[in-house]
Structure 1
Amino acid sequence: MILLTGGLGFIGSHTTRALLDRGESCVLAQRRTEFEAPLFPDEIGTRVQIEQVDVTDREALFRLGDKHHITGIVHLAGSFFGDPVADARANPAGLLNLIDAARGWGVERIGVASTIGVYGGGVSPLREDQPLPLTARHDIEAAKKIYEILVSQLSAATGIEMYCARIGAIWGPLGRTASRFFAVPQLIHAAVAGTPVDISTLPGGALPYENDGMDLLYVRDCGRALASLQLAERLEHGVYNVSGGRMTTYREIADGLAATLPGHETVLTPGDDPCPRFPALWLDISRLRHDTGYEPSYDATRAVADYVDWIQRRSK
């Protein structure tokens, strides 16, 4: 069984679904007592086991090994609740508890979620072997850089194969209806509702430029990529970019909406943003492709159509 922390979250649910589709069974560790599992409701209690446990609770975490035969771990959860010192203490503690538990359980591979934010900018395409700045602009970036250092050292020291997945901008079913980093969810939800987009919810408080964009990855593809890393026969590296491998523009999203919702016109600012909040960066996913055979299956048009269909079905 594969243990997933954050397995009922946005990316975690799709990763769990992808693992189930490849024949695996999963244990999902979560803090909450209430949960919803729309991607695998019929498999709860059979191929999916839900356990209420916080990974910072060492004893409770270790007891999972008494109940389940855990063979792999995908660590997607994080502690980001607002107290910077408490969060900075909890995140490495949770990772170290998982690694220690893995030693006792005989786990051979651990995947750990990192982020595109560790690059701190740069020149596209961003590659895993380029140097990273030893600074952090926010708590998530800081936690992920700490994760990567611990993983790179402890993988060799413990003999457990560990890798970090630098995850890009992810969107789609179960995600936020409004993102502070990019405008895609806002544009799509407004289009489905048939209402003007709420400008106040958009990054920078303005309509995006049609030629602006970023490296976007549809969440169903993200789940498949993470499952592919966990189940690959052999991994040659300790860090992998998980993203679309190209820049997706807002014009592509608008064209996808026009194809999916005939008569809809997405209002964008013409041309290029002269002062972009985020540079046009994308990730090199050559390592991911080579070691797992993974390829994104959702282009902008297919992803928009799938997301629109999911929103419409959920609203009925």
Structure 2
Amino acid sequence: MILVTGGFGFIGSHTVRALLDLGEDCVVVQRRARQLPAVLAGARVEVEQADVADREALLAIGRRHDITGIVHLAGSYPWPPVPDAPVEATRQALDGLLNIAQAAQEWGVRRLGVASTIGVYFGARNRGPLREDAPLSMSALVSIPTFKKVGELLGGFLADTTGIDIVNYRVSGTWGPLGHPDPFFAAPALVHAAARGTAPDLSHLVGPAFADDGLDLNYVKDTGRAIALLQLAGKLNHRTYNVGSGRATTNVELIEAIRKLVPDAQVDLPTGGDAPHLVLDISRLQEDTGYQAEYDTERAVGDYIAWLRAGNRN
């Protein structure tokens, strides 16, 4: 049985779906009580309500279930930032990661996977596909990549000293059903606007969006399946894996795909965009798991628009 923290969240619910489809049983750990996400409707999933920062509550789960692996997707970082209590927020974030590692050790799990982010590469000088062995900057503009870098370092130390198979997932820009407006790319907002017949609200973005902006975007169903494959692989040759599409998707490409389905969609963006396109090298993932993306841009856009038009809010 695979324990998934944050398993009712955006990427988590799709990872649980993929694990179930691959024949695994899952137990989901959620801090707050939530309804079963629509992508898991009808699925047989064990649910435990616990905060991963509560060590005793977390360890008790292993006495009720036979946990063989852990996928840690719950946020091990203070987000949104907590300016009035940064030390306590940092302590809770690190406690969650360390408690998960202790649980993995005590339960004797085969593999612990921990979510990281494409954001760890921000500031990298390499303009080609980013490999997992690329040197990383010691600084970060926001808290998430800061804590993910710290988590990767701690994970490496704990793997060396405990013998736990700890694997990092550096997840690219991910979008699709159950997602949310992302501050770094416009894809979800553009699709929502097309599905609802409105102009896109881009006020949440950290900067203006341009037609030629691009990023390694991965549809969430592919992201969830990649994580599931990494968790279940018989042997992994590395500790860190990029999880993405391996190519840049531009806003122009998204707009063209949207207009094939919704010709009158109000999704025009100003021309231009000179920011470097961050693209992940996913050869490790493909070689060690056989992963291949199932959703190109057109299929992803069509699937997401159909999901929203079926009455789903996000």
Q: Considering the TM-score relative to the shorter chain, is it more than 0.5? A: yes
1:74 partner SS: strand
The answer to whether the 8 Å contact 2:140/2:146 transfers is: yes
Q: 1:108 aligns with which of 84, 87, 110?
A: 110
Q: Give matches, 1:166-181, under 5 Å.
A: 166-176=170-180, 178-181=181-184
1:135 to 1:315, Cα distance in 2 relative to 1, 3 A: closer
Matched, 1:48 2:50: no
Gaps of at least 5 residues in structure 1 are none
Matched, 1:194 2:191: no
Distance in 2 between residues matched to 1:170 and 1:231, nearest whole Å: 21
1:251 partner SS: helix
User: Which amino acid in 1 is paired with 2:200?
Assistant: V
1:166 partner SS: strand
The answer to whether the 8 Å contact 2:243/2:285 transfers is: yes
Distance in 2 between residues matched to 1:145 and 1:184, nearest whole Å: 26
Moved more, 90-99 or 4-13: 90-99
1:201 to 1:63, Cα distance in 2 relative to 1, 3 A: closer
The answer to whether the 8 Å contact 2:4/2:28 transfers is: yes
CA-CA distance at 1:33 after TM superposition: 1.9
CA-CA distance at 1:201 after TM superposition: 4.0
User: Which amino acid in 1 is paired with 2:33?
Assistant: T
The answer to whether the 8 Å contact 2:199/2:266 transfers is: no
CA-CA distance at 1:142 after TM superposition: 1.6
Cα RMSD after superposing both structures: 1.6
Matched, 1:6 2:3: no
For 1:211-256, what per-residue CA distance to the aligned partner results, in whole angstroms no more than 9, with x for missing partners? 2211100000000000010001110000000111110011110111
User: Which amino acid in 1 is paired with 2:22?
Assistant: R
Cross-structure match for 2:222: 221
Distance in 2 between residues matched to 1:266 and 1:293, nearest whole Å: 36
Q: Count residues with an aligned counterpart.
A: 306
1:200 partner SS: coil
Cross-structure match for 1:161: 165
Moved more, 218-227 or 98-107: 98-107
Moved more, 256-265 or 145-154: 256-265
User: Which amino acid in 1 is paired with 2:27?
Assistant: V
CA-CA distance at 1:41 after TM superposition: 2.4
Distance in 1 between residues matched to 2:50 and 2:309, nearest whole Å: 34
Q: 1:66 aligns with which of 63, 68, 75?
A: 63
User: Which amino acid in 1 is paired with 2:28?
Assistant: L
Distance in 1 between residues matched to 2:249 and 2:204, nearest whole Å: 20
Gaps of at least 5 residues in structure 2 are none
The answer to whether the 8 Å contact 1:186/1:202 transfers is: no
Q: 1:80 aligns with which of 73, 78, 82?
A: 78
CA-CA distance at 1:117 after TM superposition: 1.0
The answer to whether the 8 Å contact 1:2/1:73 transfers is: yes
The answer to whether the 8 Å contact 1:183/1:203 transfers is: no
Distance in 2 between residues matched to 1:199 and 1:217, nearest whole Å: 20
TM-score normalised by structure 2 residue count: 0.93
Cross-structure match for 2:236: 235
Matched, 1:301 2:301: no
Matched, 1:117 2:119: yes
TM-score normalised by structure 1 residue count: 0.92
Cross-structure match for 2:134: 130
Distance in 2 between residues matched to 1:98 and 1:219, nearest whole Å: 24
User: Which amino acid in 1 is paired with 2:211?
Assistant: E
CA-CA distance at 1:167 after TM superposition: 0.6
